[in-house]
Every structure is written in structure tokens, then in C-alpha cells.
Amino acid sequence: MARILSPTVLLGIAPIVLIVALWQGLVSFGFAPAVLLPPPGFVFSRLLQQLVTWTFQQEIVATLIRLFAGFAIAVVLGVSIGVAAAASPAINAVVRPIVRVLAPLPKVALYPALLLLLGFGHGSKITLVTADALFPILLSTYYGASTVEQKLIWSAMAAGTRRTEILFKVVLPAAMPAILTGCRIGLVISCIVVFLAEMITSTDGLGHALVTAARTFQAVDMFVPLITISLLGLILNALLGALRSYLLRGFPEA
Amino acid sequence: MMSPAALTRRAAPVLACIGLLAVWQIASLVLKNDSFPTAMEAIRAIPDILGDKESLINILASLRRMALGFAVAVLISIPLGLLMGRSRSVAAFFNPLLMVVYPVPKAALMPIIMLWLGVGDITKTLVIFLGVSLPVIYHSFEGAKAVEEKMLWSGAAMGLSPAQRLVRIVLPAALPEILTGCRTGLVLALITMITSEMIARQSGAGNILFNALDMGQYDTVFAMIIIVGAMGICFDAIFERVRARLVRWSEPQFDMPLSFS
Amino acid sequence: MTAVPARSSEWVRPVTLPEPASAIIEIDRVSQVFQTSARKDHVALSDISLTIEEGAFVSILGPSGCGKSTLLYIVGGFVSPTSGAAKMKGQVITGPGPDRGPVFQEFALFPWKTVLGNVMYGPRQQGVRAAEAEAQSRALIEMVGLKGYENFYPKELSGGMKQRVALARTLAYHPEVLLMDEPFGALDAHTRTRLQNDLLNIWERDRKTVLFVTHSVDEAVFLSDKVVMMSKSPGRIRAVIDIDLPRPRRRTELLLDPRYQKHVVDIERMFDESDEAGPSL
Ligand SMILES: Nc1ncnc2c1ncn2[C@@H]1O[C@H](COP(=O)(O)OP(=O)(O)OP(=O)(O)O)[C@@H](O)[C@H]1O
Ligand SMILES: [Mg+2]
């Protein structure tokens, strides 16, 4: 108990408490009408109430499916292209300039094109999530894989590891810290992008719930999906953090 | 004089652009989909958009908001990040809040802020400001945290006050990392700008995109995508030039901006 | 009987050792030229020829940058020479192989594997079944004095312990030749002495061929049958000195032995002389 309530934690909770207090104050003292800024207690009880309803759970599931599908594809593509570019100068020569052009491109601008090509369903949203989460994962992987200590590779080769095996037995595990850092950034991005895509055009999902509430000026219901996506982000980040400390248990400063 | 190797390196991104456009051209010819114009058709539609006075005003207004949001965000975030990096208590104070805010899509705050402040420039600029702030704070924080303690000791020994140390030692030492944050922030500013306009649907580049989509002007949709994409690439390239100049002393950096919506 | 002639002019004789029947490694007129960033060719090794007999403990000694590591990497097959060839049992070396096991100064342990995992890596890679590889590896870990640390990760070990693991990992796949590049260079004097003794014990037991790069004259004389002295820019072999001290060697006894002292002093004099001569270009 003493550890949980350390000064650092208290200090960290302070601004969040302050904001909630300010929020409550604004409403209580009549600076903001409750229609525009519902009191925090009301918002949180609404959140709890919503979380147990079937319809809201379905929105969450729809969002999560897109998020995971897009993120998973981004991880697979990002890691394999990143490792390939680090391993082969020929692939590097092709991938590097393409990445240089595509990485700073605002992916969300592609969304209309994706809608035209893939329709308004899951496909376009998943593709957008992948497009956005891909580059941090790819760049991180490439960086990690191209800075693997030469002598680790030599040690493995001397022990009789073939060149193709080196990729899986040395380069990939050695690049794991960098890969997971990229995944962490990619995951947050996935949360953000899936929500935005659902806001711009969708028939379900958390982003859609926000837009529906906005159309009918239901301020409370606008806060609920936002808080939900923030909580989802925190939970997923914590899960990834746990996976990270398990996978990197041998690495210093992990 | 450039060596052949340097020349190839310079030309490679241009070749990549041409290659990507070629892939698009071929894909559209093969697919023969009405809603998927060829690259050539899209490129031909660009002068129409840029020649149209209303569109041009719209785009310039978007850029003005973006510049303002970016500038204010950078001015506030860098000092905050540096302070967080040098003081444990400041970091402990802000870190959890930033962690909670991080996964919230800033552009998704549009509808709520619109309720309070209307659909005008202030709302959109505010959203851009929020979007840019986080990466800049984060990178300034990391940069300041990594500054070697011994450098600060020698500064203190030379009689610099804490504030002077922050400006004269921490800021320059963290500059490479800060600029990485700004580079990400710049791309983010563009993205938030487009997204906020897609959500508010009132004016700006994002609005042109979706209006064209609704009206079935597919050439315009794709031409706008090229324009926005070119903006992203140009801003990034220009910023990279500036960055390389400012921190010539630092190790050449590999990382490219981590752009996301 | 000393291998170092009294007059310095005789030291620079070309190294043409009589070809012994049991040569395991032959380095045949090997040169290594690196392209530097200034686009000038940098000759790291120039025309090196050396024969190493099976079961011998050979040290390479020389100033920093004279190409000791490069020579070792060529024998390991990690680097291919610009000209000439290195041969292992008459076969030209074209790549790394489990017959030549490296031990690096930086340990180069796999951080994602435990001590046991690191040591088992080689045997598993050779196709030894898991249970058998584990039993062998546990025995080796015990031999290098790390019993009880099997499930530790490298980051949890001290420098000396890491170097023991690195040695065990290499011994585990039974290389015929050990290639050691300043393996004790990063360790403190005390740990270094202990590891030298341990290495000698292991070597005296199974008499593997060892090619050992070091900066330390003491270490070279204490451990070796033969010390190869190199000079710098370009890297050349300057002399090969036979160390005719009896084995098994005890450090405390050797330190008082005049023959040991003479070897050390002779070699250090040669270093001094080359320093006075300045860099030979
Ligand atoms: N990959 C490389 N590219 C260019 N030059 C190199 C490379 N590797 C080594 N050299 C050069 O070759 C020379 C010999 O290097 P090497 O590492 O073999 O020396 P060394 O004798 O092991 O030195 P030390 O005792 O400091 O380890 C040095 O001058 C070095 O600068
Ligand atoms: Mg060396």
C-alpha cells in the first residue's frame, strides 16, 4: 500500500484530479451549462452504464477487430520488410527511397481513395490502420536489425548456424527491443487511426458512437467513447508492456 | 560536384515517386474501375484545383491554421519537455496525464470543442495545437533527460544559474532530439489539419477531398490526395534541411518522422 | 637456449618455419587492404605467413592497430583476405565453421538466452539432442566454475563470469582451434590471473590448438608455446619466439624463474626498440 501511494504517484494523480475538480467546478458554479459540459460524475456513471449494454459492447468489439487486424498486419509487414531491408543491400536500395517518400505522407489523406477502392466496410479502415502503424514498426525494426552486434552473428556462425538461420536465430531476437518499441508506437497510432476512420465514415464502432452523439448534441455520449478509447489505449499499452518485459527479460535496461 | 553515389542517393526518392505513380497508373488501367482514375488523370486535375480561387483560398486558410497551431505548440512544448526532463517532480506531475491523453485521437475532440467554441478557426487551430504538442513534449523530455550530468556540473561550476543552464546547456544538447520531435509534430500538424477538416466538413483541404468524394468527382479526390501528399513530403524535406543545418555537429540521424493521424 | 637472437638485425629474418607434419593452420602470404573513408588504401596486413601446429598454444603480440584482430578474423573465416589464403588442415578457409571457435573480448553472449541457453546453442546447432546437449553444457558450466548460475541471464553476471560463459559456449561445440581475441582484456588484474590459470588447466587437459591475441607480454609468455610478434603499418610478423618453459606452469613459480623473466625482458626490449625507430612506413 505504501508503495502504491508513493509521492511520485500522488504527484502524478494530482493534475488528473485537478482537471476533474475544475470540470466539476465549472458545472457546479454555473460557468458552463450542463448541456455543453456534463458534470464528471454524470459522465462516468453513464460510462459504467454503457459498458454493460450489448450495443455499446458491440461498438467496442467492432473497433477492436479493426484495430487488431490493422495492427497485426502492420507488425507482420513492418518486421519482415524491416529485417529484409537490413539483411539485403538490394532490398534496402529499393525499400529505402520508397519509405522516405511514404513515411511523411499523411496517410489519412489516402482514406477517401481507400473508401473508393475497398468500400465502406472493414477493409478500408483496416488498411488505413495498417498504413499508419506500418512505418514506425518498419523503421524501428530496420534500425534494430541493422545495428545487431557483428560479433553476435559471428559467434552464431562459428557455432554452425547457416546464413538463413541467422536471421531468425540472431537478428530477430537481437532486434527485439527495437521492434517492441516500434510496436508500442504503432499500437497507440492504431488506436487513434481506427477511431478517426470510424468518425469520418462508419456505421459502427466507437468513433461512430461519438459522431452519432455529436449529431444529436448529446454531450454526455460524446465523452463516453472518448474515455473508452483512452482506457483501451492504456490497457493495450499495459499488456504490451507486460509482454515486453517478459520477452526482454534477458536484455539490460528493458 | 556530386559523386555518382551521392547523385543516386539524391535521385532515389524521385525515382521512388515516379515508380509509385507508375504502379498506380498500371493498377488503375488493369482494374478499370470508374471510381479509380489513372495517375495521369489525377495529375491533370491538379491545375484545376490550384487554379480555382475558392479552393486555393481554402487550402491557404488550412495552411495558416496549421502554421499557427504548430508554432504555438512548439513554443509551449519545448520548455515544458525540457523542464520535465530535468526535474523529477515536474515529470512525475505531467507524465500520467500525458499517458492518459496519448491514445486519445486529438482530432476526435473536434465535435466536443465545436460545441463550446463553434466551427471556426479557433477550434481547428486548437486541435492542431493539441496534436503537435505531445510528440514535441515527449522528445524534448527524452532529450533533456539524456543530457549528461557532468556537463551541467561544469556549467554550475562556471557559475550558471539553473535557468541559464537550461537555456545554455540543456537546450543545445537536447536539440537533435527536440528537432526529431518537431519533425514528427510537423507531419502531425498536417494530418490533424486534414482530419479536423474531414470531421468538421466546413472548409479547408480535407473538406474539398470529401466534397469531391460525395459529388463523385474522383479525379479531384485523387488530385487532392497528391497535393496533400506532396505537402507532407515537401514539409518534411524542408524541415530535414533545416535540421541538418542546425545540428551539424550531431551524429547523422537515421530515423524518419513517425507520422500518424 | 633462447629463440631471440642477440643482435636485432637477425630478428627481422623472414619467417620460414620448417613445415611440421602436424600443421593445423597455415597462413600463406595473406595481405589485407582496407578502403578507408579518405579513399586511400590502408594496408592492415602485409604478406603474412605463419604455420600453427596442432595442439600448440600460440600468442600474437603487437602494438594496437597492427592487425592482430584482422588476422584472427581471417583464420575464423569472418573476413576474407585481399590476397593470399589461410588454410585449415590443408583446406582453404572460406567461411566460419565449428572447427574454429572464437572467443571475443566483448563476450558477445546472446542476451536473450540464459547461461545454459548460451552454452547449449552450439551443440543444438550441431544436431545434438536436447537432453544430451543440456547434460554436456551443465558439465561445461561446472568446469568453468559457474555451477548454480545456469539460469542466470548474461546481464546478471560480472565481466569475468561472462567471459567464462563465452569460453564454455565455444568449448561446447568442440572446435579444434580456439581463436581468442584479447579475451581477458576487459577484466581486472585479479580476475584475469584466475582466468589465465583456468584456461591453462583446460588447455593442458585437452590440448586444443589455441590462437591467442593479447596486448600483455606477461600473459603471452605465461600461456604460450610460441609468441608471434607483429609490427605496425603495414602489419608484418617481426619475430616468432619459442617459449621453452616447462609445463604445467604455475604462475607463482614462473615469476621467479629467470628464463621467464628473460623472455619478458627480451620481448619488451624489442617493443622499445620499435618505438624508438618510430612508425615504419
Ligand atoms: N573494417 C575495417 N575497415 C577499415 N579499416 C579497418 C577495418 N578493420 C580494421 N581496420 C584497420 O586495420 C588495422 C588493423 O586493425 P585490427 O583491429 O586488426 O588491429 P589490432 O591489432 O587488433 O588492434 P587492437 O590491439 O587495438 O585491437 C587498423 O589500422 C584498423 O584501422
Ligand atoms: Mg584487436
Q: Is the pLDDT of residue C273 over 80?
A: no
Determine the average pLDDT of the residues in C61-69.
90
Edge-to-edge order in the sheet of strand C41-53:
C41-53, C23-35, C83-88, C91-92
Q: Do residues B225 and B37 lie in contact, with contact meaning Cβ atoms separated by under 8 Å?
A: no
pLDDT at site B88: 87
In a domain, A66, yes or no: yes
| A169, three cell numbers | 536465430
The pLDDT of residue A37 is above 50? yes
Average pLDDT, chain C: 87
Give the whole-angstrom CA distance, residue C37 versus residue C40.
7
What does the pLDDT average to over C215-225? 92
Residue B80, classed as helix, strand or coil, is helix
Q: Given this model, what pLDDT does residue C199 score? A: 92
Chain B CB contacts of A12 under 8 Å are 92-93, 95-97
Average pLDDT for B221-239: 89
Across the beta sheet with C226-231, the strand order is C100-103, C177-181, C209-214, C57-61, C226-231, C236-242
- How much is the pTM? 0.86
Q: Which member of A102, A107, A219 has the closest CB to residue B115?
A: A219
Residue A24 inside a domain? The answer is: no
Question: Which residues of chain A are within 8 Å of residue B92 when distances are taken between CB atoms?
Answer: 7-9, 11-12
Residue A179 lies in a domain: yes
Percent of chain C having pLDDT more than 70? 89
Confidence of residue C210 (pLDDT cuts 50, 70, 90): very high
Tens digits of residue pLDDT in B137-178: 988 998 998 888 888 888 888 888 888 888 888 888 888 889
* A160 neighbors C125 (Cβ within 8 angstroms): yes
Q: Tell me what pLDDT residue C41 has.
A: 83
Over residues B244-259, the mean pLDDT reads 59
Residue C234, ligand 1, Cβ within 6 A: no
Closest Cβ opposite residue A105 in set B35, B95, B233: B233
Give the pLDDT of residue A253: 67
In angstroms, the CA A237 to CA B103 distance is 9
Which of the four pLDDT bands, split at 50, 70 and 90, describes residue A3?
A: low
For residue A233, is it within any domain? yes
Task: Answer whether CATH 4.10.520.10 is correct for domain B39-248.
Answer: no
The per-residue pLDDT for range C66-106, each reduced to its tens digit, is 899 999 999 999 999 999 999 999 899 999 999 999 999 99
**Tens digits of residue pLDDT in A133-162:** 999 999 999 999 999 999 999 999 999 999
Chain-chain contact of A222 with B228 (C-beta, under 8 angstroms): no
Percent of the residues in chain C that have a pLDDT greater than 90, as a whole number: 62
A14-18, A127-131, C56-60: least confidently modelled range = A14-18
Confidence of residue C16 (pLDDT cuts 50, 70, 90): low
Has residue C181 been placed in a domain? Answer: no
State yes or no: pLDDT of B183 exceeds 90: no
Q: Confirm if B247 and B175 have CB atoms less than 8 A apart.
A: yes
Per-residue pLDDT at C8 exceeds 90: no
Helices (H) and strands (E) in chain A, counts: 11, 0
Predicted local confidence at residue B152, as pLDDT: 82
Domain assignment present for residue A15? The answer is: no
Return the SS3 of B21. Answer: helix
In a domain, A143, yes or no: yes
Is residue C7 very low, low, confident or very high in pLDDT (cuts 50, 70, 90)? very low
Q: Residue C278 falls within a domain, yes or no?
A: yes
Chains in contact with C, counting 3 or more C-beta pairs less than 8 Å apart as contact: A
> What pLDDT was estimated at residue C29?
92
Buried b / exposed e along A144-163 (16+ C-beta atoms within 10 A): bbbebeebbbbbbbbbbbee
The DSSP secondary-structure symbol of C36 reads -
CB of C118 closer than 8 Å to CB of C109: yes
Distance (Å, whole) CA A207 – CA B209: 20
pLDDT tens digits for range C159-169? 999 999 999 99
Taking residues A24-52, report their average pLDDT: 86
Chains that touch A (3 or more CB pairs under 8 A): B, C
Task: Calculate mean pLDDT across residues A213-240.
Answer: 89
Mutation choice for ligand 1 from C59, C70, C215, CB with most ligand atoms inside 8 A: C70
Supply the pLDDT for residue B250.
64
pLDDT of residue C280: 46
Structure ipTM = 0.85
Instruction: Residue A106: list chain B partners with CB under 8 A.
Output: 187, 190-191, 194, 228-229, 231-232, 259, 261
Mean pLDDT of A67-84: 96
The answer to whether residue C67 is domain-embedded is: yes
Q: How many CA atoms lie within 13 A of A213 on its CB side?
A: 26
Q: How far is C204 from chain A (nearest CA, A)?
A: 23
Interval A169-212: pLDDT, tens: 999 999 999 999 899 889 988 988 899 899 888 889 999 999 89
**Ligand 1 atom index nearest CA of C67:** 18
> Which of B90, B202, B258 to mutate: most A Cβ within 10 Å?
B258
pLDDT band at residue C1 under the 50/70/90 scheme:
very low
pLDDT at C2 over 60: no
pLDDT at C15: 52
Per-residue confidence (pLDDT) for residue A247, from 0 to 100? 92
Q: Looking at beta carbons, which residues of chain B come within 8 Å of A96? A: 12
Give me the domain span that covers residue C38. Answer: 22-96+209-281
Domain of C255: which CATH number? 3.40.50.300
Q: How many domains does chain C have?
A: 1
Q: How many domains does chain A have?
A: 1
Segment C169-197, tens digit of pLDDT: 999 999 999 999 999 988 888 888 988 99
At A31, phi and psi to the nearest 5?
-75, -30
Chain A nearest CA to C123, separation (Å):
8
CATH number, domain of A204, equals 1.10.3720.10
Closest residue in A to C78 (Cα–Cα): A154
| pLDDT band with cut points at 50, 70 and 90 for residue A72 | very high
**Poorest-pLDDT segment among A45-59, A207-221, B98-112, C225-239:** B98-112
C177-181/C100-103 β-pairing: parallel
Confidence of residue C277 (pLDDT cuts 50, 70, 90): low
pLDDT digits over C224-249, tens only?
A: 999 999 988 788 898 999 998 888 88
Angle at A120 between CA A117 and CA A125, to 5 degrees: 85
How far does the centroid of ligand 2 lie from the alpha carbon of residue C182, in Å? 7
Residue C250 included in any domain: yes
Percent of chain B with pLDDT over 70: 93
Q: How does residue B3 score in pLDDT terms, banded at 50, 70 and 90? A: low
Cβ of A160 under 8 Å from any chain C Cβ? Answer: yes
What are the domain boundaries of chain B?
39-248
Examine residue C28 and state whether it is found in any structural domain, yes or no.
yes
SS (H, E, C) B85-98: HHCHHHHHHHHHHH
Is residue A254, in this structure, part of any structural domain at all?
no
Residue span of the structural domain in which A213 resides: 53-247
Higher pLDDT, B199 or C125: C125
List pLDDT tens digits, range B107-147. Answer: 788 888 888 888 788 888 999 999 899 889 988 998 998 88
Is A137 among the domain residues?
A: yes
- Residue C221: per-residue pLDDT: 94
> Can you give the pLDDT at residue A126?
96
Question: Measured between alpha carbons, how far is A51 from C52 in angstroms, rounded to an integer?
Answer: 76
